[in-house]
C-alpha cells in the first residue's frame, strides 16, 4: 500500500481561488463556526454533500455561513480552515432524524450534530473546540 499524501491546512488565502458553489434548491441552513474561545472563525470553508447534492460556502467576518441542504435525514459537512492541519468531517442531521452513525456518538454529544429549527430556518453551529464541541468523524 502506498502511504496517502499528508494533509496540510487550507490556509487563509483560498477565497480568491476556490469557487463557491451555492446549492440552487433545498432547506435554508444558517450557522456559525466558533473556536475554542467562542470567537467566530472568519476564514472557514465548508463543503456540504449528499449523493448528487454539493455546495461549497465560506464564513464571513462573524463566522457566519448559510447553505441550502436537501430534505434528507443528514448531510455530510466538511470543514477546512487556517489552523486545521487536517479537515474535519461532520454531519448535520435534521431535527428528529437519527441513524446508526448518530447512535454511535455519546448521548450527551449527539445534539451537536442536529440542526435546530428556528422561525422557518434551520440553525446548525460548528464548534471546533471547547464546550459543546461538535462531534467530528474519522
Partner 1 sequence: MEIEPPYLFPDYQATQLRAPRHAPTRLPDEWFHRTPGPVFGRIAVRPEDADLTRQHQGEPLGERIILSGRVTDSDGRAVANTLVEIWQANAAGRYLDPVDDHPAPLDPNFTGAGRCLTDGEGRYRFVTVKPGAYPWRNHTNAWRPAHVHFSLFGPALASRLVTQMYFPGDPLLPLDPILGSIPDPKGRELLISSFDMETTEPEWALGYRWDIVLRGRHATPAE
Report the interface residues with partner 1, using CB under 8 A.
Answer: 1-19, 21, 35-37, 39, 41, 43, 47, 49, 51-54, 76, 78, 80-89, 101, 104-105, 109, 128-130, 133-138
- Count of beta carbons in the 10 Å neighbourhood of residue 80: 21
For the CB of residue 119, give the shortest distance to partner 1 in the complex, in Å: 29
Closest approach of Cβ 137 to partner 1, in Å?
A: 5
- Smaller CB separation from partner 1, 8 or 71: 8
- 124 near 115, Cβ under 8 Å? yes
Cα dist from 50 to 7, 41, 71, 72, 84, whole Å: 23, 24, 10, 9, 23
In whole angstroms, how close is the CB of 28 to partner 1 at the nearest point?
19
Helix (H, G, I), strand (E, B) or coil at 12: coil
Query: In this complex, which beta carbon is closest to partner 1, that of residue 14 or of residue 121?
Result: 14
Q: How far is the CB of 51 from partner 1 (least distance, A)?
A: 7
Instruction: Select 16 or 119, whichever has its Cβ closest to partner 1.
Output: 16
C-beta closer to partner 1: residue 3 or 119 = 3
Between 43 and 122, name the residue whose CB sits nearer to partner 1: 43
Least distance from partner 1 to the Cβ atom of residue 95, Å = 21
- Cell reading at 93: 442531521
Amino acid at each position: 500500500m502506498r502511504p496517502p499524501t499528508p494533509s496540510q491546512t487550507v490556509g487563509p488565502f483560498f477565497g480568491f481561488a476556490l469557487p463557491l458553489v451555492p446549492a440552487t434548491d433545498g432547506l435554508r441552513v444558517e450557522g456559525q463556526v466558533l473556536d475554542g474561545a467562542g470567537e467566530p472563525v472568519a476564514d472557514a470553508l465548508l463543503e456540504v454533500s449528499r449523493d448528487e447534492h454539493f455546495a461549497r460556502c465560506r464564513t464571513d467576518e462573524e463566522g457566519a455561513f448559510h447553505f441550502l441542504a436537501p430534505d434528507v435525514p443528514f448531510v455530510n459537512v466538511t470543514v477546512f480552515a487556517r489552523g486545521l492541519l487536517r479537515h474535519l468531517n461532520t454531519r448535520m442531521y435534521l431535527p428528529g432524524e437519527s441513524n446508526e452513525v448518530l447512535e454511535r456518538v455519546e448521548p450527551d454529544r449527539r445534539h451537536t450534530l442536529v440542526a435546530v429549527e428556528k422561525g422557518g430556518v434551520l440553525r446548525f453551529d460548528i464548534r471546533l473546540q471547547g464546550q459543546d464541541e461538535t462531534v467530528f468523524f474519522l
